[in-house]
Amino acid sequence: MNAYEILRVSVLVLAGTSLFVAVGSWAVTTRRISPFSRIARLIRGMSDPILRPIERWMVERGRNPRDAPWWLLGIVIVGSILLLTVFQWLSATVSRIVAAGQTGPRSTIRLTVYLATQVILFALIARVVGSWFGAGRFNRWLRPVFLLTDWIVEPLRRFIPPIGIIDITPLAAWLLLQILLSLVLRVI
């Protein structure tokens, strides 16, 4: 079994555990299972240490703590998808670096251009996802993201108006970068 398969199995076990915690907590909270039964105490004993930090986080932000089990499940699913995707990307990138190092300087230049573009594309994704959560350019974690992407997003924003409340300039920047990458890689 290779590392990716081990990671996939681990993620599947984690998702199954979080599903069990979410459904069990929901069943006890909604009294589908008697909260005073032995099984309910077992479920609460296993799920409370996991759910308390999420409930505390939700209360601090004015949300209903009863939704914590579903937030846990969502966080695990989205986090698992991101983890597997990043792992695949990193392993493919390491393979490309090794191959480029063996084939010569032209391949190394092409790989450098490709990786620089990938970093900017990931920064665009982080910019969009950060805006969904209300984190803007003055958030300390997103400042580097805005520094990497402002050079392409801000000029496009002058020409492309938002559609209602949706700003499509990061999407336009994404498409423009993809087109520029393909043109530059053909030339090199």
Q: How far does the chain reach from its first CA to its final CA, in angstroms?
A: 38
Q: Which token pair is 5?
A: 């398969």
Model pTM score = 0.68
Q: Read off the amino acid at residue 31.
A: R
The rounded percent of the chain whose pLDDT value lies above 70 is 100
Closest to 26 (Cα-Cα) out of 73, 60, 75: 73
In the Cβ-directed half-sphere of 10, how many Cα atoms lie within 13 Å? 11
The single residue listed with the structure tokens 């390491």 is 94
**Confidence at residue 30, expressed as pLDDT on a 0 to 100 scale:** 86
Instruction: For the chain, list residues with pLDDT below 70.
Output: none
Q: Is-contact 28 40, C-beta < 8 A? A: yes
Question: Is 166 in a helix, a strand, or coil?
Answer: strand
C-alpha 35/C-alpha 24 separation (Å) is 11
